[in-house]
């Protein structure tokens, strides 16, 4: 049988799966990446040779499968150093690709390669082998009608090797024939160094859908093995049936086969391309269906007395998947019963995995079932809170944290969420939290007086209601237009446009990244305030500030493309997070994004300092009140309290809901002048606090 590209891709995936369960004594003592790559290439070709006929390429003729209809080279790389090299031909390769496809094997870095494990196998079409950043920028330039001279200048700035005339000729070609988005990173050296950081964005050849569209973090085979082994040997589970929602490429199925070889498996996934690659046996049933519409009665049976539901649902929010017009999301509903304003300003955004796990809990909570899911740590916390709030009877719940950057390259903390349901179930108020890599990292999450503490080792009795109103910063969703910097007598926006604007509607702006010091008084960034109160008419700008009005009108399309429903039926160029409180001279602010809970005193002597909507703040009219509040919030007492109620692993650890729990009145009863002096020293501030100032503060707010 003649080898085809489709067969090559299919066999590569099967090869990785089979090799993950094999020992490789030939690699004993070998750590050289080139030697490992040569071994993998030869092993794969040997497997193919038993089934197919094909032209065997070699290093001499350049690529491994030179047949015109295959035209593919094998690349092998470690997941720790995802790079490789290929012969240099000309600079057009960075723009239009290498001229051949790449079949990429990514293996996991290890001290012992006799137990070789593959992280993934990816096929990169020849048209997608250009440089990621270069092609991305060139595509935008062509869309924005850049001429050949400007593109030539850009190519020279990128230090592409070549004379001006050569680059200019290439620029004309780029305009006539724009490149496709590349997914490699290619240097300008005489040997291309191919870095594969962006290959997860390569779309599935048959479906046209990218991993992003499915919220796709496939479980590495060794980690799936580790989780199932834990279920077998530590939890002593002996299920009659295993169900895996969103099974993906089947790595959990392979691990289940290893530890539960005779137990039937029911696996569901929306992506048929994944299911086709799973080797079916008599005890595996595959369902190519949308998990949000799946009827679980299909996989329930009276003959089953013990269910194991295991898997790794999508690690992404519904809003993010919606951006990709994905079909892998549930029907929209305000399932948390939020008020209208909160729902349309983002609080209705939820993790897809949270929705799936809660659906599974609802389906199996009255059966003898163990549910084991990989998810974000924040999702695990929300599931525990839901079960406790709803008084769902459960016999065990446990969260085991793991390093998701190491396992998935994901910038969020992950966990294994374990729940057991049976006749011994009861309402719960606590949950044990441990760490798979550090047995000493353990604590208890739970409720005290109906208030949730993510770490009950840090309970500080200042929980209550903050007497000050916490506000969120300016929301405009149009940073490229609304945020500018002064350049001479003009202002430059984030699109690098230079424009004339009146100074009056411009205010200094701080973003989360600016709040790294306890006192902040300056900012180079400015924001256009089109309103001073919510839904104020913006048409007077036309007469008062004609330059600003013309600028806004020229960029009207950007405002009209804002996705949030909050701007519906509002005046042109509307903003939110605006009111009298916005113009308080002194503010105590915190970034919502950073793990460190640093509160900053911010002000500007010329105009009120604005904050963007990633920040939260309290407004004050006098310096001393703001300064003392900043010290109180940075004190050890309050910081210890926050450690108990804040999930620092979440995308936005500090929210208005969290900050409102800091009861300043209770704090004043427990804090002394010496504590505030110590806080000044810790923040490296000059001594300013005095007993008299603290007494005055107490008289005003206590």
pLDDT tens digits for range 197-241? 666 555 444 334 444 434 456 788 889 999 999 999 999 999 999
pLDDT of residue 563: 85
Quick one: average pLDDT of 168-188?
87
Distance between CA atoms of residues 526 and 452, nearest Å = 39
Average pLDDT, the chain: 86
Domain(s) labelled CATH 3.40.50.150 in the chain stretch across 214-458
Helix locations, 390-446, DSSP H: 404-408
- pLDDT of residue 372 exceeding 80, the answer is yes
Phi-psi region of 633 (alpha: psi -120 to 50; beta: other; left: phi over 0): alpha
Give the domain 5-131+182-205 fold.
Answer: ECO RV Endonuclease; Chain A (3.40.600)
Give the domain 214-458 fold.
Answer: Rossmann fold (3.40.50)
Treating both helix axes as pointing N-terminal to C-terminal, what angle do 673-682 and 636-645 enclose, rounded to 10 degrees? 80
Distance between CA atoms of residues 553 and 560, nearest Å = 11
Window from 269-283, 426-440, 671-685 with minimum mean pLDDT: 269-283
Domain(s) labelled CATH 3.40.600 in the chain stretch across 5-131+182-205
pLDDT band at 114 (very low <50, low <70, confident <90, very high): confident
Distance between CA atoms of residues 31 and 106, nearest Å = 15
Which of the 8 DSSP states describes residue 514? G
Distance between CA atoms of residues 430 and 186, nearest Å = 51
pLDDT of residue 647: 85
Distance between CA atoms of residues 534 and 155, nearest Å = 46
Distance between CA atoms of residues 286 and 701, nearest Å = 64
User: For 276-333, what is each residue's pLDDT tens digit?
Assistant: 777 666 788 999 998 988 999 999 999 999 999 999 998 866 444 344 344 444 544 4
Distance between CA atoms of residues 446 and 39, nearest Å = 52
Torsion of CA 141, 147, 148, 152, to 10 degrees: -60
Considering only residues 393 and 11, tell me which one the structure prediction assigns the higher pLDDT: 393
Tokens of 460: 């500080």
């Amino acid at each position: 049988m003649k080898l085809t590209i489709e067969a090559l891709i299919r066999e590569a995936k099967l090869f990785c799966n089979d090799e993950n369960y094999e020992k490789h004594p030939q690699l004993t003592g070998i750590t050289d990446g080139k030697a490992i790559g040569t071994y993998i290439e030869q092993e794969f070709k040997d497997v193919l040779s038993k089934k197919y006929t094909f032209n065997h390429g070699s290093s001499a003729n350049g690529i491994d499968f030179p047949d015109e209809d295959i035209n593919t080279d094998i690349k092998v790389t470690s997941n720790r150093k995802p790079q490789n090299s290929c012969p240099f031909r000309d600079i057009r390769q960075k723009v239009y690709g290498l001229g051949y496809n790449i079949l990429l094997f990514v293996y996991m870095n290890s001290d012992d390669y006799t137990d070789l494990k593959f992280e993934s196998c990816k096929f990169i079409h020849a048209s997608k082998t250009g440089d990621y950043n270069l092609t991305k920028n060139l595509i935008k330039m062509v869309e924005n009608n850049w001429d050949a001279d400007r593109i030539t200048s850009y190519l020279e700035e990128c230090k592409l090797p070549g004379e001006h005339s050569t680059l200019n000729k290439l620029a004309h070609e780029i305009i006539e024939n724009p490149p496709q988005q590349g997914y490699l990173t290619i240097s300008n050296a005489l040997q291309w160094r191919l870095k594969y950081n962006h290959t997860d964005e390569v779309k599935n050849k048959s479906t046209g859908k990218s991993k992003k569209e499915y919220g796709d973090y496939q479980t590495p085979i060794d980690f799936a093995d580790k989780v199932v082994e834990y279920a077998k040997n530590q939890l002593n589970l002996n299920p009659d049936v295993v169900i895996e929602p969103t099974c993906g490429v089947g790595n959990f199925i392979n691990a289940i086969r290893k530890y539960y070889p005779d137990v039937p498996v029911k696996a569901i996934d929306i992506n048929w391309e994944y299911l086709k690659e799973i080797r079916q046996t008599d005890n595996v049933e595959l369902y190519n269906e949308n998990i949000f519409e799946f009827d679980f009665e299909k996989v329930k049976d009276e003959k089953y007395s013990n269910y194991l539901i295991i898997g790794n649902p999508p690690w992404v929010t519904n809003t993010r998947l919606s951006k990709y017009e994905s079909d892998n999301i549930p029907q929209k509903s305000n399932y948390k019963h939020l008020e209208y304003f909160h729902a349309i300003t983002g609080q209705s955004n939820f993790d897809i995995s949270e929705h799936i796990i809660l659906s599974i809990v609802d389906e199996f909570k009255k059966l003898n079932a163990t549910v084991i899911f990989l998810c974000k740590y924040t999702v695990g916390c929300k599931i525990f809170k839901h079960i406790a709030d709803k008084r769902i009877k459960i016999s065990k719940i446990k969260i085991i944290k793991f390093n998701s950057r190491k396992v998935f390259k994901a910038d969020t903390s992950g966990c294994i969420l374990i729940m057991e349901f049976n006749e011994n179930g009861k309402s719960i108020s606590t949950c044990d939290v441990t760490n798979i890599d550090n047995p000493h990292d353990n604590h208890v999450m739970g409720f005290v007086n109906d208030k949730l503490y993510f770490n009950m080792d840090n309970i500080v009795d200042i929980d209550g209601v903050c007497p000050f109103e916490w506000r969120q910063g300016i929301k405009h969703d149009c940073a490229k237009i609304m945020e500018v910097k002064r350049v001479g007598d003009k202002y430059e926006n984030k699109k690098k446009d230079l424009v004339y604007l009146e100074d009056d509607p411009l205010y200094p702006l701080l973003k989360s990244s600016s709040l790294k010091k306890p006192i902040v008084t300056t900012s180079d960034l400015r924001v256009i305030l089109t309103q001073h109160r919510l839904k104020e008419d913006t048409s007077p700008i036309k007469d008062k500030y004609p330059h600003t009005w013309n600028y806004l009108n020229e960029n009207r399309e950007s405002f009209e493309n804002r996705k949030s429903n909050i701007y519906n039926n509002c005046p042109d160029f509307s903003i939110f997070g605006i009111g009298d409180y916005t113009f308080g001279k002194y503010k105590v602010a915190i970034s919502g994004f950073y793990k460190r809970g640093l509160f900053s005193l911010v002000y500007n002597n010329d105009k009120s300092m604005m904050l963007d909507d990633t920040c939260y703040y309290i407004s004050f009219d006098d310096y001393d009140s703001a300064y003392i509040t900043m010290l109180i919030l940075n004190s050890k007492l309050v910081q210890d309290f926050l450690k108990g109620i804040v999930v620092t692993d979440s995308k936005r650890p500090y929210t208005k809901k969290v900050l409102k729990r800091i009861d300043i009145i209770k704090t004043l009863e427990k804090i002394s002048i010496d504590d505030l002096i110590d806080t000044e020293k810790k923040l490296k501030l000059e001594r300013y606090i005095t007993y008299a100032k603290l007494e005055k503060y107490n008289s005003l707010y206590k």
